[in-house]
Chain A
């Protein structure tokens, strides 16, 4: 495994919904790469474009399709953005798998869990019914479902949220994907179950050697699971770093404000430091740096230009014009 090998490289991705004058650019000029076998975190608050970004990768938009999508998405040397829908279907589910936030609705309630797992296996790997069943049992065991032989014949309603997410992970990993996209996989779960699921993902990542794109709003989850991380705000990446760098030296004022807003500094008392105001409308973002109306360090120049990501040190960059200045 060479360090330079990228599983996924996204360049200048821009995704717009709706038509002018109400067009909203949910993802604006986003570039990042995910290396083989790494856990890459995409973190930000609701509406920052993190979910749209990962859905764009495999063009899974559900009801609301974007009106425009530009940029290149290179996965194992192929440009996914240019693939025909039928070719994309082959990639989706076999080489790139996805798990979602809500494990309650992602399974078909009228179908036995076993059949839902076997279906994918038989479609992608052309296994016989018996082989598929055996493989399903192995898979459920590998994601920590007790007594899988018995559980295969249950319907999803008999499973708790954590168990369903395990089943969904089993389905996602059935074909040993090269990339797992996990969109807020633990947000709907209790904290002890979240802990179990995150550790399960890390363990399976090591076993399969896949890369993971983890979308989350929780900086604690990032610190515990990711190798590298991109912080998004209002559709743009504002900071990109290794997890160690990000927590040791958060550089963008937004990242710092986000960390400061957490009631995590041990003990009670002391006021929290919220970020004033609320995130901007994507249809009419503020000029210049999108964070400047809420930024305590803003200077007039911030309104003039959108700052590009600038390197701070090897592997760490932030989009803020005041980065170079002494703090």
Chain B
């Protein structure tokens, strides 16, 4: 078994909330939002780890902690076995871990040409030698992400969303990282363009052996690209397994609900009742027991009072006191119609 590239052990992160006038008058303590709660994750070289969950589940905070934009309060993060300290040199970390963001319209400096954006990375990190060599490398990077080098004189607002996302990927690749954190990299794009970007990420992974943490709310996309998947709910990982195992034999009731909620592009397989009722509880006052107990249809009494641990069976971990091991599950993905034979 290869040594993990990145291993995260039991990290937590809270954000203090601003106190409003009433809080100050009534002297109530400052509330804190637990964005991450005891999260552990490993990423091996060249592996794609999908992180899924709904808004506010902490998946973006996890990505930001890994990329160094946030500092977790507890727990350890190890890079190839050595701890990443809080005050670690940002330049060193940049050469290991890079990030691709969601909004291709906000993730490029609007006043720099595409070429300048890429060249800056090379210059700051002293990569690719002199100016002439740097220009060659910029062309190379653009070709690598499927863009014509002629575009490098353009400003971001003159290219399409898909092209911008390619430049963002090229910018991350310029630092020659071994891990890229991709936070919802395709959710702002149209379906036809999404497929282009996903293919590109898969190609790069195959060619450069770059590991990927793929954060998304779209389970179909995550299923397509990931080796392993972690499902998050209220700041915790509630289930983690190899992708196929997770999608065909999900154990956590939330994972099941999430999978069943995806609208299947097949009118013959309609459902009439929502898969999960209710909404995510207020993260400022999460339930005492299991976070999902307020919405779970298989809730038993202990769920409301005891916080479940992540129970690991081999590669498959589930945080549930009443896991769905014996209940049958129809994988929505297995019955997709084969459409559009050209």
Instruction: Verify whether A and B have any Cβ pair under 8 Å.
Output: yes
User: Which A residues contact B (CB, under 8 angstroms)?
Assistant: 45-46, 160-163, 190-196, 198-199, 202, 217-225, 243-244, 247-248, 250, 253, 255-268, 271-276, 278-279, 296-297, 327
For this complex, 28 residue pairs linking A to B, each with C-beta atoms less than 8 Å apart, are A46-B190, A160-B279, A161-B55, A162-B279, A163-B279, A191-B261, A192-B54, A192-B276, A193-B279, A195-B261, A195-B263, A196-B276, A223-B263, A223-B270, A243-B267, A244-B268, A257-B192, A258-B192, A259-B340, A260-B339, A261-B191, A261-B195, A263-B194, A264-B264, A266-B333, A268-B225, A272-B195, A274-B192
Bound-complex Cα distance A280 to B260 (A): 36
Q: Count chain B CB atoms within 10 A of each CB in A192, A217, A224 and give the residue with the most.
A: A192
Q: Is the beta-carbon distance between A278 and B162 smaller than 8 angstroms?
A: yes
Q: Is the beta-carbon distance between B202 and A264 smaller than 8 angstroms?
A: no
Contacts of B331 in A (CB 8 A): 266
Q: Is the beta-carbon distance between A274 and B196 smaller than 8 angstroms?
A: yes
Q: Is the beta-carbon distance between B258 and A191 smaller than 8 angstroms?
A: yes
B41 close to A (CB within 8 Å): no
Contacts of A264 in B (CB 8 A): 220, 264-265, 333, 336
Bound-complex Cα distance A160 to B54 (A): 13
Residue of A nearest to B332 (CB): A266
Residue of B nearest to A190 (CB): B54
Q: Is the beta-carbon distance between A256 and B340 smaller than 8 angstroms?
A: yes
Contacts of B198 in A (CB 8 A): 263, 272
Do A250 and B257 contact each other (CB < 8 Å), given the known contacts A199-B273, A220-B262, A278-B160?
A: no
Of residues 41 through 92 on chain B, the ones whose CB sits less than 8 Å from some CB of chain A are: 54-55
Do A199 and B272 contact each other (CB < 8 Å), given the known contacts A192-B54, A259-B265, A272-B199?
A: yes
Residue of A nearest to B337 (CB): A247
Contacts of A279 in B (CB 8 A): 190
Contacts of B272 in A (CB 8 A): 199, 202
Contacts of A272 in B (CB 8 A): 195, 198-199, 224
Q: Is the beta-carbon distance between B339 and A266 smaller than 8 angstroms?
A: no
Q: Count chain A CB atoms within 10 A of each CB in B191, B225, B266 and give the residue with the most.
A: B191
B217 close to A (CB within 8 Å): yes
Of residues 293 through 342 on chain B, the ones whose CB sits less than 8 Å from some CB of chain A are: 331, 333-342
Q: Is the beta-carbon distance between A196 and B196 smaller than 8 angstroms?
A: no
Bound-complex Cα distance A234 to B208 (A): 37
B219 close to A (CB within 8 Å): yes
Residue of B nearest to A244 (CB): B267
Q: How many Å from the CB of B152 to the closest CB on chain A?
A: 19
Q: Count chain B CB atoms within 10 A of each CB in A244, A257, A272 and give the residue with the most.
A: A272
Q: Is the beta-carbon distance between B191 and A262 smaller than 8 angstroms?
A: yes
Q: Is the beta-carbon distance between B261 and A223 smaller than 8 angstroms?
A: no
Q: How many Å from the CB of A44 to the closest CB on chain B?
A: 9
Contacts of B270 in A (CB 8 A): 223-224
Q: Is the beta-carbon distance between A221 and B192 smaller than 8 angstroms?
A: no
Given A193-B54, A253-B342, 8 additional A-B pairs, CB 8 A? A192-B261, A195-B261, A223-B265, A243-B267, A259-B265, A260-B339, A264-B265, A275-B195
Contacts of A218 in B (CB 8 A): 263
Bound-complex Cα distance A305 to B225 (A): 40
3 nearest CB pairs, A to B: A220-B263, A274-B195, A256-B340
Contacts of B199 in A (CB 8 A): 271-272, 274
Q: Is the beta-carbon distance between A275 and B265 smaller than 8 angstroms?
A: no
Residue of B nearest to A46 (CB): B190
Q: How many Å from the CB of A141 to the closest CB on chain B?
A: 15
Contacts of A297 in B (CB 8 A): 342
B23 close to A (CB within 8 Å): no
Do A261 and B194 contact each other (CB < 8 Å), given the known contacts A247-B267, A247-B337, A278-B162?
A: yes
User: Which B residues contact A (CB, under 8 angstroms)?
Assistant: 54-55, 160, 162-163, 190-196, 198-199, 202, 217, 219-221, 223-227, 243-244, 247, 257-258, 260-268, 270-277, 279-280, 331, 333-342
Bound-complex Cα distance A199 to B271 (A): 9
Do A247 and B266 contact each other (CB < 8 Å), given the known contacts A46-B190, A264-B336?
A: yes
Q: Is the beta-carbon distance between B263 and A256 smaller than 8 angstroms?
A: no
Contacts of A192 in B (CB 8 A): 54, 257-258, 261, 274-276
Q: How many Å from the CB of A118 to the closest CB on chain B?
A: 24
Bound-complex Cα distance A161 to B217 (A): 16
Q: Is the beta-carbon distance between A265 and B338 smaller than 8 angstroms?
A: yes
Contacts of A276 in B (CB 8 A): 196
Contacts of B160 in A (CB 8 A): 278
Contacts of A247 in B (CB 8 A): 265-268, 337, 339
Q: Is the beta-carbon distance between A195 and B243 smaller than 8 angstroms?
A: no
Please pick, from B195, B266, B275, B337, the residue contacting A273 in the complex, using a CB distance under 8 A.
Answer: B195
Q: Is the beta-carbon distance between B243 and A196 smaller than 8 angstroms?
A: no
Please pick, from A248, A263, A327, the residue contacting B224 in the complex, using a CB distance under 8 A.
Answer: A263
Q: Is the beta-carbon distance between B265 and A267 smaller than 8 angstroms?
A: no
Q: How many Å from the CB of A277 to the closest CB on chain B?
A: 9
Bound-complex Cα distance A217 to B218 (A): 14
Bound-complex Cα distance A224 to B162 (A): 28
Bound-complex Cα distance A250 to B257 (A): 30
Please pick, from B224, B262, B339, the residue contacting A268 in the complex, using a CB distance under 8 A.
Answer: B224
Contacts of B244 in A (CB 8 A): 267-268
Contacts of A224 in B (CB 8 A): 263-264, 267, 270-271
Contacts of B221 in A (CB 8 A): 263
Bound-complex Cα distance A296 to B338 (A): 19
Q: How many Å from the CB of A102 to the closest CB on chain B?
A: 14
Do A191 and B217 contact each other (CB < 8 Å), given the known contacts A160-B279, A224-B264, A271-B199?
A: yes
Do A190 and B263 contact each other (CB < 8 Å), given the known contacts A256-B342, A268-B224?
A: no
Residue of B nearest to A261 (CB): B195
Bound-complex Cα distance A247 to B226 (A): 27
Residue of A nearest to B334 (CB): A266
Q: Count chain B CB atoms within 10 A of each CB in A194, A221, A250, A268 and give the residue with the most.
A: A268
Bound-complex Cα distance A253 to B220 (A): 23
Contacts of B338 in A (CB 8 A): 265
Q: Is the beta-carbon distance between A268 and B226 smaller than 8 angstroms?
A: yes
Q: Count chain A CB atoms within 10 A of each CB in B54, B190, B267, B270 and give the residue with the most.
A: B267
Bound-complex Cα distance A39 to B196 (A): 32
